[in-house]
């Protein structure tokens, strides 16, 4: 492709993107293809000769799009969103165009310095502790792994990096509701999954601090070394909020690393009315949230903050000859702030998003999203065949279908059927969780381009599909 051909096809591709977004509502939210359907349409061998760009775009429409679940569809209410937005998309295009490898300051000073500044902006926007140091990780899973590796090194005074675990028996604590990325990080960090202690939760599915303290004391008695506690703000199942200030107190008492995973909900700390959840953050050792979830910034972009920068760097630093630079020590070389050596220029899309929306623009979109969930909660409460399963927190409703004329023993099956019908309809995509052993449906109103008409539509679909079951 020559540069002039690139210009032409680039315009065509931007037109393709604009058409995709303006007609997305005609597509089923969740892909309806069967396993293997897409695979079988892709030739077994690559083309020997160059193909026309128009043929590639045509195949994109006919072979790929039918197999896509449309995360940017305004009727996407599943999981937590992986939001894009137009400024973010444009930022990603420029990142791809620059195609810089931002491992150290010297390999792109602007990338390192914009990243540093964006982390300062986020701290200011969300009133996070001034003493924290920020870096962009790819995902929350990576951020949590970085946190647990730092905790491991902090606990062993950097001896495990040097000599391995030896006879040490470390323990990590989190609630039974935390995300599976904690389990994964414990496994990878060599701590051993049997040393991940799942703490009971209270009636709101938040960590029971009494049980945490008892478990720590019992472990110390039995010769274990408590290494880290992971609190979650906004659990994936129901948005439960662990009591961070009380957990921080326990961590301080026993000298344990305290990591807070606010992957989804952290974006809401842009809103002063939710900043009370950040109480106790001053003593938190590491913290993360994903702008790629509810801050309209393309996947992947996870903001990671740490109190002790030196511990982080000491855990990850490497210094082969070819990476020695004259600027070392005067600048941030982010290859030492996490796992990857090669790093994308992720700060650029964040810069585009924050500037294009403005802080107040981001805030008003989030408040609108919370209002949408409030409306659905009212609808559920007003309908005799539905009930809220846990109190709504922000923009997630967790509910179930529970018609009075049906034996409650059948509710699980009924809700499974209802969810399947909604998702098969193509008009909305929701997912489920289990609360107290019961199968329940969760609905998140957070898609970037969600409007009232879509919210009214999803409620209509839920009611219509429930009526069809009986
Ligand atoms: C609370 C929580 N933590 C961590 C994760 C993992 O996020 P990521 O996909 O960025 O690794 C999720 C994903 O939804 C989550 O809900």
- Cα 446 to middle of ligand 1, angstroms: 15
Give the ligand 1 atom nearest the CA of 141.
11
Of 98, 162, 104, give the one whose Cα is nearest residue 338.
Answer: 104
- Cα 145 to middle of ligand 1, angstroms: 12
Give the ligand 1 atom nearest the CA of 139.
10
Query: What does the pLDDT average to over 211-233?
Result: 98
Q: For position 396, what pLDDT does the model report?
A: 97
Look-up: residue for tokens 């179930």? 400
pLDDT classification of 421: cutoffs 50, 70, 90: very high
pLDDT classification of 92: cutoffs 50, 70, 90: very high
Query: What does the pLDDT average to over 129-157?
Result: 97
Q: Is the C-beta atom of 261 inside 6 A of ligand 1?
A: yes
- The mean of the pLDDT values for the chain is 97
pLDDT classification of 178: cutoffs 50, 70, 90: very high
**Domains of the chain by residue range:** 3-83, 101-344, 359-469
Q: Is the C-beta atom of 232 inside 6 A of ligand 1?
A: yes
- Cα 264 to middle of ligand 1, angstroms: 7
Q: CA 57 to CA 212: how far, in whole Å?
A: 55
Q: Is the C-beta atom of 289 inside 6 A of ligand 1?
A: no
Q: State yes or no: pLDDT of 13 exceeds 90.
A: yes
CATH number of the domain at 3-83, please? 1.20.1340.10
Classify domain 359-469 at the CATH class level: alpha beta
Q: Is the C-beta atom of 302 inside 6 A of ligand 1?
A: yes
Q: Is the C-beta atom of 433 inside 6 A of ligand 1?
A: no
Q: Is the C-beta atom of 175 inside 6 A of ligand 1?
A: no
CATH number of the domain at 101-344, please? 3.40.640.10
Q: Is the C-beta atom of 231 inside 6 A of ligand 1?
A: no
Six-digit token string for 461: 């679909």
User: What share of the chain has pLDDT > 70, as a percent?
Assistant: 100
Of 269, 211, 267, 264, give the one whose Cα is nearest residue 240.
Answer: 264
Q: For position 470, what pLDDT does the model report?
A: 76
271-316, pLDDT tens digit by residue? 999 999 999 999 999 999 999 999 999 999 999 999 999 999 999 9
- Cα 142 to middle of ligand 1, angstroms: 10
- Cα 230 to middle of ligand 1, angstroms: 13
- Cα 144 to middle of ligand 1, angstroms: 10
Q: CA 110 to CA 106: how far, in whole Å?
A: 9
Return all residues near 36 (Cβ < 8 A) that are at least 6 apart: none
Q: Is the C-beta atom of 357 inside 6 A of ligand 1?
A: no
Q: Is the C-beta atom of 238 inside 6 A of ligand 1?
A: no
Q: CA 280 to CA 250: how far, in whole Å?
A: 12
Q: State yes or no: pLDDT of 219 exceeds 80.
A: yes
Q: CA 373 to CA 211: how far, in whole Å?
A: 32
Q: How many Cα atoms are found within 13 Å in the side-chain-facing hemisphere of 191?
A: 31
- Cα 289 to middle of ligand 1, angstroms: 9
Give the ligand 1 atom nearest the CA of 80.
14
Q: Is the C-beta atom of 304 inside 6 A of ligand 1?
A: no
Q: Is 245 exposed, middle or buried (0-12, 13-18, 19+ CB in 10 A)?
A: middle
> Does residue 255 come out as left (phi exceeding 0), alpha (psi in the -120 to 50 range) or beta?
left
Q: Is the C-beta atom of 138 inside 6 A of ligand 1?
A: no
- Cα 17 to middle of ligand 1, angstroms: 27
- Cα 181 to middle of ligand 1, angstroms: 7
- Cα 208 to middle of ligand 1, angstroms: 22
3-state SS, one letter per residue, for the chain: CCHHHHHHHHHHHHHHHHHHHHHHHHCCCCCCCCCCCCHHHCCCCCCCCCCCHHHHHHHHHHHHHHHCCCCCCCCECCCCCCCCCHHHHHHHHHHHHHCCCCCCHHHCHHHHHHHHHHHHHHHHHHCCCCCCEEEEECCHHHHHHHHHHHHHHHHCCCCHHHHCCCCCCEEEEEECCCCHHHHHHHHHCCCCHHHEEEECECCCCCECHHHHHHHHHHHHHCCCEEEEEEEEECCCCCCCECCHHHHHHHHHHHCCEEEEECCCHHHHHHCHHHHHHHCCHHHCCEEEECHHHHCCCCCCCEEEEECCHHHHHHHHCCCCHHHCCCCECCECCHHHCCCCCCCCCCHHHHHHHHHHHHHHHHHHHHHHHHHHHHHHHHHHHHCCCEEECCCCECCEEEEEECCCCCCHHHHHHHHHHHHHHHHHHCCCECEEEEECCEEEEEEECCCCCCCHHHHHHHHHHHHHHHHHHC
Q: How many Cα atoms are found within 13 Å in the side-chain-facing hemisphere of 133?
A: 12
Max distance between CA atoms of the chain, in angstroms, equals 76
Query: What does the pLDDT average to over 413-434?
Result: 96
- Cα 294 to middle of ligand 1, angstroms: 12
Of 353, 351, 312, give the one whose Cα is nearest residue 334.
Answer: 312
pLDDT classification of 49: cutoffs 50, 70, 90: very high
Residue nearest atom 16 in ligand 1 by C-alpha distance: 236
Q: Is 97 exposed, middle or buried (0-12, 13-18, 19+ CB in 10 A)?
A: exposed
Q: Is the C-beta atom of 343 inside 6 A of ligand 1?
A: no
């Amino acid at each position: 492709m020559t540069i002039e051909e690139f210009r032409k096809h680039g315009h065509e591709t931007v037109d393709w993107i604009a058409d995709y977004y303006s007609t997305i509502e005609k597509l089923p939210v969740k892909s309806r293809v069967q396993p293997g359907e897409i695979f079988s349409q892709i030739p077994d061998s690559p083309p020997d000769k160059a193909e026309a760009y128009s043929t590639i775009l045509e195949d994109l429409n006919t072979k790929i799009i039918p197999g896509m679940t449309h995360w940017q569809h305004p009727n996407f209410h599943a999981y937590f969103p992986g939001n894009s937005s137009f400024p973010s998309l444009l930022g990603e295009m420029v990142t791809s165009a620059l195609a810089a490898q931002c491992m150290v300051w010297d390999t792109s000073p602007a990338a390192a310095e914009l990243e540093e500044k964006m982390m300062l902006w986020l701290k200011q926007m969300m009133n996070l502790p001034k003493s924290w140091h920020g870096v962009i990780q790819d995902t929350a899973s990576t951020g949590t792994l970085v946190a647990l590796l730092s905790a491991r090194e902090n606990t062993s005074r950097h001896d495990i990096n040097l000599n391995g675990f030896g006879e040490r028996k470390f323990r990590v604590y989190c609630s039974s509701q935390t995300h599976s990325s904690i389990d994964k990080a414990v496994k990878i960090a060599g701590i051993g999954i049997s040393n991940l202690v799942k703490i009971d939760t209270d009636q709101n599915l938040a960590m029971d601090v009494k049980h945490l303290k008892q478990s720590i004391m019992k472990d110390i008695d039995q010769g274990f070394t408590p290494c880290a506690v992971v609190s979650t703000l906004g659990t994936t199942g129901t948005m439960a909020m662990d009591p961070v200030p009380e957990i921080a107190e326990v961590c301080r008492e026993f000298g344990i690393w305290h990591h807070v995973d606010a992957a989804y909900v952290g974006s809401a700390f842009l809103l002063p009315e939710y900043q009370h959840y950040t109480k106790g953050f001053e003593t938190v050792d590491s913290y993360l949230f994903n702008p790629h979830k509810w801050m309209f910034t393309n996947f992947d972009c996870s903001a990671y903050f740490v109190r002790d920068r030196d511990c982080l760097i000491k855990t990850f630093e490497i210094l082969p000859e070819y990476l020695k630079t004259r600027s070392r020590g005067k600048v941030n070389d982010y290859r030492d702030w996490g796992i990857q050596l090669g790093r994308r220029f992720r700060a650029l899309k964040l810069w585009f998003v924050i500037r294009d929306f403005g802080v107040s623009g981001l805030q008003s979109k989030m408040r609108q999203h919370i209002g949408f969930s409030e409306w659905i909660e009212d609808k559920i409460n007003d309908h005799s065949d539905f009930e809220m399963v846990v109190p709504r927190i922000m923009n997630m409703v967790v509910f179930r279908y529970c018609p009075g004329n049906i034996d409650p023993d059948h509710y699980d099956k009924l809700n499974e059927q209802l969810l399947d019908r909604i998702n098969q309809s193509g008009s909305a995509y929701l997912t489920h969780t289990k609360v107290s052993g019961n199968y329940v449906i969760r609905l998140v109103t957070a898609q970037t381009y969600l409007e009232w008409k879509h919210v009214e539509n999803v409620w209509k679909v839920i009611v219509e599909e429930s009526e069809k079951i009986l």
